[in-house]
Amino acid sequence: MDKKPFVTLEKLEEIVKDYPTPFHLYDEKGIRENAMKLKQAFAWNKGFKEYFAVKATPNPFILQLLKECGCGTDCSSMTELMMSEACGFSGEEIMFSSNDTPPEEFAYAAKLGAIINLDDFTHIQFLEDTLGYIPETISCRFNPGGVFKISNDIMDNPGDSKYGMTTEQIFEAFKILKAKGAKRFGIHAFLASNTVTNEYYPLLARQLFELAVKLKEETGACVAFINLSGGIGIPYRPDQEPNDILVIGEGVRNAYQDVLVPAGMGDVALCTELGRFMLGPYGCLVTRAIHEKHTYKEYVGVDACAVNLMRPAMYGAYHHVTVMGKEDLPCDHMYDVVGSLCENNDKFAIDRMLPKVDKGDLLVIHDTGAHGFAMGYNYNGKLKSAELLLKEDGSVQMIRRAETPKDYFVTFDFCDILKNY
């Protein structure tokens, strides 16, 4: 399938008059429509709620937009909790799914009334020591170990991941939490990442539903909600078939009907903590070609670099590139598309077939809406870009300004030498 940017060259040329490249651009219309579709897919479940994984796109304007769509937030750090609070999320609209958690973060989450999702068995005591009590509503993160398979495909390797409790531990945890006063329980698991298949959620759900029935039978705990967490992926590559969230919702419904309803658990609420699926396709990185270099390979040098989008450098991740205005030309040139870091892995694309790129061309790097800007850093003293929102009415709102040298130097505020920048 051809991947088309959600923005036209004409519109981009208008935008770059006000906002210099590089920048991340988000598509309000796409975000809203997708969020509505998710809601529709799970409308059959009375208590359903999506808790947007803040770490994917930690921007208050995005969070507010998602709040309007009925989402809560999933946080895993102090500042994510603070941002959620500042955006008006409160109480059980906030899920705190962290790991290796510092005590002050548990305390802050509890103060906000957030649902705390315990990553480990030992965190029961740690939480009680920190708060002085165990909250009435509490969730535990499950890790079944082994590998997570769909048919014969290994999707991921939970046995190698640091998250969650073993089967034995979660049973013990429920008993202890119940004895310490917990009344409403949740179960959470995240077993595979970026799954581009409609089968992941239904399989995960069935596994968690079966666990929930056993936990209820064995411990007498009231399982109030089951959290399918994140992991629904997006088609980064043009040949990938996108997930169909309506099909996924139906698949989960079947498992629910098969397992929970007969066990008298037809009132269990479902929740999700999607990040990538909610935002990934609805953001792009806009950058300009500023150099061509011809050595042992052909290079296009752009004005963005890995600090703006780390996934290719970090995971070798594929991000589709469109050379704006040249969509209909043949892809008969092979390039490495590179940034300016003094790191040879600072490449947005390697051996990529593109139309001939000329200096000044605008390039759209697709699917940067989640885990894009958010993973940014400041290596080589590079500054983070602006984030812009393309609104439904076609106007553009700056939702984060670009960093300036002053921002980069601000943590030296205890001395005078850099105060003039």
**Which tokens in the block code for residue 185?**
């329980």
Using CB under 6 A, pick the residue from 24, 49, 55, 288 that binds ligand PLP: 55
- In whole angstroms, the minimum distance from the beta carbon of 277 to ligand PLP comes to 6
Using CB under 6 A, pick the residue from 5, 144, 164, 230 that binds ligand PLP: 230
* Cα–Cα distance measured from residue 163 to residue 142, given in angstroms and rounded to the nearest whole number: 8
**Which tokens in the block code for residue 368?**
């940067």
Output the CA torsion sign for 217, 218, 220, 221: negative
- In whole angstroms, the minimum distance from the beta carbon of 278 to ligand PLP comes to 8
* Cα–Cα distance measured from residue 403 to residue 387, given in angstroms and rounded to the nearest whole number: 11
- In whole angstroms, the minimum distance from the beta carbon of 190 to ligand PLP comes to 5
* Cα–Cα distance measured from residue 215 to residue 387, given in angstroms and rounded to the nearest whole number: 45
- In whole angstroms, the minimum distance from the beta carbon of 399 to ligand PLP comes to 19
Using CB under 6 A, pick the residue from 41, 53, 300, 349 that binds ligand PLP: 53
Which CB atom, from 53 or from 127, has the smaller least distance to ligand PLP?
53
- In whole angstroms, the minimum distance from the beta carbon of 196 to ligand PLP comes to 12
Tally of residues, the chain: 421
**251 forms part of the interface with ligand PLP (CB under 6 A):** no
- Crossing angle between the packed helical segments 200-219 and 245-255, to the nearest 10 degrees: 30
**80 forms part of the interface with ligand PLP (CB under 6 A):** no
- Judged by CB under 6 A, the stretch of 269-277, 312-320, 397-405, 407-415 that binds ligand PLP is 269-277
> Residue 42 — φ and ψ, nearest 5°?
-115, 20
Which CB atom, from 28 or from 156, has the smaller least distance to ligand PLP?
156
Using CB under 6 A, pick the residue from 42, 89, 142, 190 that binds ligand PLP: 190
Using CB under 6 A, pick the residue from 231, 251, 312, 372 that binds ligand PLP: 231
Residue 61 near residue 31, CB atoms below 8 Å: no
**229 forms part of the interface with ligand PLP (CB under 6 A):** yes
Cβ atoms within 10 Å, residue 22? 23
Burial 269-285 (b: 16+ CB within 10 A, else e): bbbbbbbbbbbbbbbbb
75 is catalytic: no
Q: What is the DSSP string of 16-40?
A: HHHSPSPEEEEEHHHHHHHHHHHHH
**224 forms part of the interface with ligand PLP (CB under 6 A):** no
Q: Which of residues 289-308 bind ligand PLP (CB under 6 A)?
A: none
Residue 124 near residue 177, CB atoms below 8 Å: yes
Pairing of strands 223-227, 184-188: parallel
Q: How many residues sit in the footprint of ligand PLP (CB under 6 A)?
A: 18
- Judged by CB under 6 A, the stretch of 188-196, 284-292, 354-362, 401-409 that binds ligand PLP is 188-196
Which CB atom, from 276 or from 384, has the smaller least distance to ligand PLP?
276
Using CB under 6 A, pick the residue from 28, 80, 156, 273 that binds ligand PLP: 273
**Which tokens in the block code for residue 148?**
């997570």
* Cα–Cα distance measured from residue 326 to residue 177, given in angstroms and rounded to the nearest whole number: 60
Binding mask 128-147 for ligand PLP (x = CB under 6 A): --------------------
**84 forms part of the interface with ligand PLP (CB under 6 A):** no
Q: Which of residues 94-133 bind ligand PLP (CB under 6 A)?
A: 97
* Cα–Cα distance measured from residue 98 to residue 84, given in angstroms and rounded to the nearest whole number: 15
Beta strands in 274-384 (DSSP E): 283-294, 298-302, 321-323, 333-338, 347-354, 362-365
Q: Which of residues 57-76 bind ligand PLP (CB under 6 A)?
A: 74, 76
- Judged by CB under 6 A, the stretch of 164-172, 237-245, 267-275, 354-362 that binds ligand PLP is 267-275
**368 forms part of the interface with ligand PLP (CB under 6 A):** no
**193 forms part of the interface with ligand PLP (CB under 6 A):** yes
Q: Of the residues 75, 140, 342, 415, which is catalytic? A: 342
Query: Pick from 236, 285, 276, 279: which is nearest to 388 by CA?
Result: 285
Residues that bind ligand PLP (CB under 6 A): 53, 55-56, 74, 76, 97, 190, 193-194, 229-231, 273-277, 370
Q: Which residues are catalytic?
A: 342
